[in-house]
């Protein structure tokens, strides 16, 4: 997919931020990859790919190189120069590299093996950061990183490796809707607003990712979530209800407007359902 002329200005706007964090390719001077979201090394390349920039583009591959420099021999990624390495950081690095065409790299295969072998006891992923204190709910995995991991697996063409227990975590959350995990991911008003482009734990991202998993497609809980998303369509098209404030001026994802690229993602959901 090439960049449509009407989105070229969006591409240029994103590329213009590549030094804003103090170094090149959206990194910080000390090699940090996550600062500046959505204009970070882990996120800005995904925006450009979404807009149609070829993943083999030089700038994107140089950004991939910056991410690879954060890879460790234990297969995790250190996305900041110090501090604890959390599963969500490795998940986001893996997803970015998969989107940039590195799925066949043996190091990334090792990373996915590491992630799958270190799931929390309930099947998802759990970042033990207790911003909200401790309670029974914090013993659960974090649904947000779990969704991101399933998305990373589908981007890498490895959706078949996802354990049924992991998919079940997200389907069950549709029913409970409780704030779960140390980071308190819940399903409420903000979750149900259609957010595009995909970033956090959100209805559109949830349905799109789970539509790539047969186990979910055949489940009534997924069907209910899909129905909620479909109830928000206008003339069969996705309308952006929520977008990161830094992206608000970009043409492809303006709040309150139909989005062509977002609608293309919705059509992927429909195609996945048609495939059974």
Q: What is the pLDDT of residues 132-156, one digit of tens each?
A: 667 777 887 899 999 999 999 999 9
Report CA-CA distances (Å) from 68 to 42, 88, 157, 252. 11, 16, 19, 29
The CA-to-CA distance between both ends of the chain, in Å, stands at: 26
Query: Do 185 and 276 share a domain, yes or no?
Result: yes
CB atoms within 10 A of CB 13: 15
Q: How confident is the model at residue 128 (pLDDT cuts 50, 70, 90)?
A: confident
Query: Do 58 and 163 share a domain, yes or no?
Result: no
User: Rounded to whole angstroms, how far apart are CA atoms 192 and 190?
Assistant: 5
- Does the pLDDT value for residue 130 go beyond 70? no
Q: Is residue 126 part of a domain?
A: no
Q: What is the pLDDT of residue 134?
A: 75
Query: Do 172 and 107 share a domain, yes or no?
Result: no
Last residue of a domain, one of 75, 92, 118: 118
pTM of the predicted model as reported, rounded to 2 decimal places: 0.96
Classify the C-alpha dihedral 54-56-61-64 as positive or negative: positive
Query: Do 165 and 221 share a domain, yes or no?
Result: yes
Query: Do 163 and 229 share a domain, yes or no?
Result: yes
Q: Is residue 125 part of a domain?
A: no
Query: Do 110 and 168 share a domain, yes or no?
Result: no
The tokens for 204 are 């559109």
Q: Is residue 124 part of a domain?
A: no
Query: Do 173 and 269 share a domain, yes or no?
Result: yes
Q: What is the pLDDT of residues 44-72, one digit of tens each?
A: 999 999 999 999 999 999 999 999 999 99
Last residue of a domain, one of 91, 118, 145: 118
Query: Do 136 and 268 share a domain, yes or no?
Result: yes
Query: Do 106 and 138 share a domain, yes or no?
Result: no
Ranges of H-type helices in the chain: 8-15, 44-50, 58-68, 87-99, 106-117, 143-155, 164-176, 189-192, 203-210, 214-217, 220-230, 260-274
Q: What is the pLDDT of residues 200-248, one digit of tens each?
A: 999 999 999 999 999 999 999 999 999 999 999 999 999 999 999 999 9
3-state secondary structure of 95: helix
Q: Would you state the torsion angle of the CA atoms of residues 15, 63, 36, 241, taken in this order, to the nearest 10 degrees?
A: 70
Report CA-CA distances (Å) from 209 to 67, 79, 114, 216, 272. 23, 24, 21, 10, 10
Domain count, the chain: 2
Query: Do 114 and 146 share a domain, yes or no?
Result: no
Query: Do 110 and 150 share a domain, yes or no?
Result: no
Last residue of a domain, one of 85, 118, 151: 118
Interacting residues of 21 by C-beta distance below 8 A, sequence separation 6+: 27, 28, 32, 35, 36, 39, 40
Query: Do 113 and 141 share a domain, yes or no?
Result: no
Q: Could you tell me the residue range of the domain that residue 113 belongs to? A: 1-118
């Amino acid at each position: 997919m090439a960049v449509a002329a009407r989105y070229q200005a969006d591409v240029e706007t994103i590329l213009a931020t590549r030094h804003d964090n103090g170094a090149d390719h959206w990194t910080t001077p000390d090699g940090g990859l996550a600062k500046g979201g959505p204009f970070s090394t882990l996120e800005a390349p995904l925006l450009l790919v979404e807009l149609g920039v070829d993943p083999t583009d030089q700038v994107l591959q140089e950004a991939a190189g910056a991410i690879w420099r954060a890879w460790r021999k234990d297969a995790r990624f250190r996305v900041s120069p110090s501090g604890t390495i959390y599963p969500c950081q490795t998940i986001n690095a893996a997803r970015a590299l998969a989107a940039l065409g590195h799925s066949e790299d043996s190091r990334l295969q090792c990373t996915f093996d590491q992630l799958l072998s270190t799931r929390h006891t309930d099947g998802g992923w759990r970042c033990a950061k207790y911003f909200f204190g401790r309670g029974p709910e914090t013993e659960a995995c974090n649904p947000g990183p779990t969704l991101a991991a399933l998305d990373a697996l589908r981007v890498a063409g490895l959706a078949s490796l996802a354990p049924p227990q992991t998919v079940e975590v997200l389907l069950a959350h549709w029913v409970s809707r409780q704030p779960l995990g140390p980071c308190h991911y819940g399903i409420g008003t903000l979750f149900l607003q259609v957010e595009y482009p995909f970033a956090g734990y959100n209805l559109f991202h949830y349905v799109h990712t789970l539509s790539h998993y047969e186990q979910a497609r055949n489940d009534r809980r997924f069907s209910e979530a899909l129905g909620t998303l479909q109830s928000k369509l206008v003339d069969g098209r996705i309308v952006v209800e929520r977008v990161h404030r830094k992206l608000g001026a970009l043409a492809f994802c303006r709040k309150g407007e139909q989005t062509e690229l977002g609608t293309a993602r919705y059509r992927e959901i429909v195609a996945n359902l048609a495939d059974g």
